[in-house]
Amino acid sequence: VAANLLDHETRRVSDRFPVYALFTDPPLARAGITEREARASGRSVLIGQRPMARVGRARERSETQGFMHVLVDGETRRILGAALLGIEADEAIHCIVDVMTAGAPFTAIRRAVHIHPTVSELIPTVLGEMQPLI
C-alpha cells in the first residue's frame, strides 16, 4: 500500500510469488511454484536438478544430503520455482528469488560466477543443464 500511495507504484499482491524457508536440519527453501503445479499448468517447463553432494561447501562440511531443483518456463525462460534442501539452502535461495523478482531470464544467473566454495555456486550449473519436465 505504501509503495502505491507514496512512490506511485502499481504493485499488487497477485504479482507476488511464495517464498519460504524451514529452518530444519538441513534447511528447506522454496520459491514460486512446485513441480506438481508446473506439471498441472500445461505449459512447457524445463527442470534442472543436482544433488547437494555436488556442492563444494557441502562436501567440505560433510553435509551432503539434499538437492537443488529449479523450474523454468520453456517459452519465456523465466524461473517459475525452485526448491533447495541442504546446507545453507535458506541463504542460497535468494539468488533465485532476485532473478525471479527482476523478471529476468534464467540465463542471467546461469552466466554468473559465484565464489567457491559456496552453496550458491551450484545454481549456475543446475541452470546450465535444463531438461524438459516430463
Active site residues: 116
- Cell numbers placing 19: 517464498
DSSP for residue 78: B
Other Cβ atoms less than 10 A from the Cβ of 46: the count is 20
Contact yes or no for 100/31 (Cβ under 8 A): yes
On the CB side of 15, how many CA atoms lie within 13 Å of its CA?
Answer: 7
